[in-house]
Amino acid sequence: MPRRGLDRLIRRPLARATLLTTVGVLVAGLSACGGSEAGPKLELSAALPDKPADGTVLRVGDPATQVALETSGLIDDLDIDVEWANVTGGPKTLEAFRADAIDIGSVADIPPLFAHWTGTDVRIVAARETVDPDEHPTYELGIAPGVDVQSIEDLKGKKIAYSPGQAQGALVLNVLREAGLTQDDVEFVEMQSVDDAFSVALASKQVDVAPLGQTLVKTYLAKYEQDGASTIAPGVRDDAWTLYAPTTVLEDADKAAAIKEYVAAWAQAQQWISEHPDEFARAYYVDHEGLSPEDAQYVVDALGQFTVPTSWDDFIARHQITVDTLVKEQDQEPLDVETLYDRRFEKAIAAAVEGS
């Protein structure tokens, strides 16, 4: 899938753009920018301030929401200074956190767990799910050309691409559980899911099966379906999406206040995406990500509509099931996942959603 400048910084206190070209330069540039001086110390149990101090800059790795806010005009209502970073995916977001390069990132539900398990203290500050997750899975299981897999039960004996610290890795474990299989029934080929790495691994027969995001499914099938490639539904729910931030950021009163404002705008942006799929497809998938209009339309149709829950109880309960699976299958440290959720922001999002 063609992508443009994954490793660039877009800095727009409202409109300027500065482009950088490599991950190293990105992280160095972001760290150098750094935003404002640290604000007053805020306990994680204290009420969120209403407004950040003048000059506070929130550094955000959330390009899809940036595009939605700009295209919809909702960015005009965002009364904070934002430094946008074109950082996506769990590994790059965590790298940026550890380099003090961004304050908040947009990822699935697995990266916050591995941030915690690998020593970076974080909190989840927003949640999103799909309206009809069974009909609109985030991932499909890509099947290599010539490999016979018609259902998830057919995964037995297959080589499966496995990225343990990413959502795709947790998906594989959940699929095996649903199929009544264990890791001993398959062969894991460990690799990181970055860009089109899983598609390439399938096409080159390094693996028999790999989870593919919807942005990759269409292009994978267009290239290799004539050779016998296919996809199947994963059969498990895979739609959890989050915003998360290091606790050091949330302990800064001004940054916490800025995030309070940002998550409210983020929630409204998710609603706008669902209500304006054609506009979002053009602005994000075509203009920003470089997909063809046909592929962009396929992606938004495949992903369906999103909803932002105003109560996190069910979302957290499903997250705990995933945590327990990872604890069992990866020998991770047991975790009460609710401790990773900063529910002060749940109220801010509820106010934004209910008032919009």
DSSP annotation of 85: B
The Cα angle at residue 281 between residues 276 and 284, in degrees rounded to 5: 110
Which of 174, 202, 232 is the last residue before a domain boundary?
232
Contact 161, 189 (CB under 8 A): yes
Summarised one tens digit per residue, pLDDT across range 253-282 is 999 999 999 999 999 999 999 999 999 999
Residues 181 and 215 in one domain: yes
Residues 334 and 196 in one domain: no
Residues 156 and 112 in one domain: no
Residues 244 and 350 in one domain: yes
Give residue 27's domain range: 23-132+239-355
Q: Which of 264, 208, 240, 231 is nearest to 320 (CA)?
A: 240
Beta bridge partner(s), residue 85? 9
Single-letter amino acid code for the residue at 13: P
Q: Which of 106, 117, 91, 92 is nearest to 326 (CA)?
A: 117
Single-letter amino acid code for the residue at 328: K
Residues 79 and 219 in one domain: no
Q: Is residue 146 part of a domain?
A: yes
Which of 232, 261, 292 is the last residue before a domain boundary?
232
Contact 143, 276 (CB under 8 A): no
Question: Can you give the pTM of this predicted structure?
Answer: 0.85
Please provide residue 190's backbone torsions phi and psi, each rounded to the nearest 5 degrees: -80, 125
Min mean pLDDT across 31-45, 155-169, 227-241 is at 31-45
Check the CA dihedral 121-123-129-133 and report its sign. positive
Q: Which two tokens stand for residue 222?
A: 């267009």
Q: Is residue 2 part of a domain?
A: no
What was the pLDDT predicted at 4?
Answer: 32
pLDDT at 27 over 90: no
List all residues 6 or more positions away from 240 whose beta carbon is below 8 Å from its beta carbon.
108, 109, 127, 128, 129, 167, 315, 318, 319, 322
Summarised one tens digit per residue, pLDDT across range 317-346 is 999 999 999 999 999 999 999 999 999 999
Summarised one tens digit per residue, pLDDT across range 48-67 is 999 999 999 999 999 999 99
Which CATH number goes with the domain that contains 223?
A: 3.40.190.10
Residues 116 and 206 in one domain: no
Residues 121 and 243 in one domain: yes
The Cα angle at residue 174 between residues 188 and 192, in degrees rounded to 5: 45
The residue count for the chain: 356
Q: Is residue 320 part of a domain?
A: yes
Residues 351 and 246 in one domain: yes
Residues 227 and 244 in one domain: no
Residues 86 and 102 in one domain: yes
Which of 232, 258, 279 is the last residue before a domain boundary?
232
Residues 38 and 181 in one domain: no
Count of structural domains, the chain: 2
Contact 322, 110 (CB under 8 A): yes
Q: Is residue 50 part of a domain?
A: yes
CA–CA distance, 135 with 233 (Å, rounded to integer): 9
Strands (DSSP E) along 312-356, which ranges? none
CA–CA distance, 121 with 271 (Å, rounded to integer): 30
What was the pLDDT predicted at 36?
Answer: 55
Residues 190 and 216 in one domain: yes
Q: Is residue 279 part of a domain?
A: yes
Q: Which of 116, 283, 302 is nearest to 220 (CA)?
A: 302
Q: Is residue 73 part of a domain?
A: yes
pLDDT at 289 over 80: yes
Q: Is residue 6 part of a domain?
A: no
Q: Is residue 16 part of a domain?
A: no
CA–CA distance, 32 with 100 (Å, rounded to integer): 9
